[in-house]
Structure 1
Amino acid sequence: MDPVSSVLQPLTVPTGAAVASVLPTLDDALAGRGDALLPLPAGDAREIARLTDALKPGEPIDEGVALVVATSGSTGIPKGAMLSAAALRASGDATHDRLGGPGSWLLALPAHHIAGLQVLLRGLLAGTEPVVVDVSAGFDPAALPAAVAALRGPRRYTSLVPTQLIKALDHPDATAALADLDAVLLGGAATPGPVLARARAAGITVVRTYGMSETCGGCVYDGAALDGVRVRLEESRVLLGGPVLASGYRGLPDHPAFAEPGWFRTDDAGLVEDGVLRILGRLDEAISTGGLTVVPQVVEAALVTHPEVAEVAVFALPDDRLGQRVTAAVVPIAGTAPTLDSLREHASRSLDPTAAPRELHLLDALPLRGPGKIDRRALAARFAHSPVPAE
């Protein structure tokens, strides 16, 4: 058993400008000083209780852990990725190397999640003060122009999730502000192709990131691994390794995701083409319908190109005949009402007809969990008892 040298301490992370109060503590963590820290969201008593119950602050922790960052995966059960100071520094340095050098960072994400934490940590590595957009009441793209103007040069960056970018693209001043930045890291969920094309046409330097709490956040940028990061596939499953890797999960020393030393076994399916990693979707969210295995993200990528679809989530509902039926929740383009038949016809142009949705629900917004991930479990629960459509 690894030697124990410290106790896991809770770190309540505020929102808005008050987040600056935790920077000295995070600077100590980045330098490997002090006890390990468990970031918790200020003002969210329910989430604090949930994470505290699962991750046990106040109890001993293995030597060398700087941060324990909560991650729920697709199960909703909190796990804590144990990150060393060396891993966090390696991640920040590799990011700056890839982007063209250290710079100042705009925080527009909750700072207790890994993506928001990394904005703060990268700024500390660069010796710059963050500019903060308060997202405690939701993301308002109207706040971006002033925030971007407050960033000091010579290089300026931010990190967003796709839903934030979609909102910003509907706000001309926010779009122009993002186009002034040297890079906008975009992660947390798959980016619809039309959104990416629209952002780049507006002059925004979008860098798509892939990673998770277990890899100190994004470790593959635009399909290419950061320096030192290793990627391999087992059949279609993505495995990640390198200096950014967590040492394991808090209290779960035998978890199979870390069974192979030096590697993290993800739940993502991917493929590598010409040296570029492309993520197909999560293996644990695959839908088994009529004898075919359907990856929701693949269907979403097809449906989001429909001219009346702004956002889409695909999930499974039980089906007596098929086992599971492919179901789509769609946020339509304003003033439109896409039909199931039109979506099926559109999807079938590029997919097996079995993968086309058999049920459609039109929504004002998609439910999210964490920083921008679609909550498919919430959708499945919400529509579990909806009438079975006639064939």
Structure 2
Amino acid sequence: MIQLSQDSIIKVQGSVSSPKGFIAKGVHIGLRYAKKDLGLIVSEVPAVSAAVYTQSHFQAAPVKVTKNSFENDSFIKAVLVNSAIANACTGKQGMADAYEMRRLCADQLNVDPEMVAISSTGVIGELLDMDKIRKGINVLSETDPGDGHFEEAILTTDTKIKQTCYEMTIDGKKVTIAGCSKGSGMIHPNMATMLGFVTTDAAVNEQALQKALSEITDVSFNQITVDGETSTNDMVLAMANGCAGNQPLDENHQDWNTFLTGFRMVCEDLAKEIARDGEGATKLIEVRVSGAENKKEANVISKKIVGSDLVKTAVYGTDANWGRIVGAIGHSDAAVSPDSVEIYIGGQCLFKNGEPQSFSEELAKDYLLGDEITISVELNIGDGAGTAWGCDLTYDYVKINASYRT
């Protein structure tokens, strides 16, 4: 269980290149019509790295190749990412292209191919245009770093870049943790189309970093949903290069909880931004569940509620229809005592003791007109608590996905 401390942590303006020893680039190579579509993160020294991946049976070629990079050790020097084409379900040619993509980047950096991770996002079932990839990697090598360029290059149907950055003090040294993500549709991660990249200049033990990423992913990226669909390409990758000069962090370090808190804050920020930017979305929905038998069951119920199409459409229509919430809770796999459940929207109690409660429809509608909505559920059968994030379901979601390939 992660124990969190919030001492000496400050949110600042920054990007994945803000931690010491990292640069990030992004260029347009023609995979997308006009926007940047090839991005690169490079650490000046090999970075201890950790990753979590999609649990889809149809894992994309770049996911498999990145797993290969981690087979012998956890040190990574660079991450190369393309958008527009997912290179998923593309057979032997797709695997060959993914390995070539990794090798070409490694050659430019003069490192072993296993020191490079790769990732792709976009349309499933189409092969990469390798001529553009080859030329693009050469262009990247000649391009100066630029804030936001990498973050833009990894986007697909996203409406904005998603990035965050925190600073903290560890061993008396300033440590920075930053990250960026992409994702707007096909979002219902189970890792571990969403990608997340976290960089830090902290020195971190490799086993401790992997454990932290896995645990924090479960309460951040794995607690968001837009449309209930898990991508073939989902990946979150963290790099820690040690350039801050602290003693290596693990569970026994006196400042471990401070690092964990900063790490979790980065991942939660990025996860919420993905949910907020869901395709066609107008509102961020946060569901807080307390009083469950345990934390796992609270997480299950919170994600079940925020993933319900009926709940999502009710929020879009500013309809405080608590029956939709009851319906979502009712078919979850978690333990529930119906007569003990309480449901709140915007602070008003709508359901309690197995029966409806008197509330102001007008106040509820005014609250639901906002762009951040909180639904709270108290189960009253234990002390487990969990939170999930999602968005409303609008007409624009259908329009975007009805013509995704065109």
Normalising by structure 1, report the TM-score.
Answer: 0.33
Normalising by structure 2, report the TM-score.
Answer: 0.32
Q: Which of the pair has the greater relative contact order for Cα pairs under 8 Å at 6+ separation?
A: 2
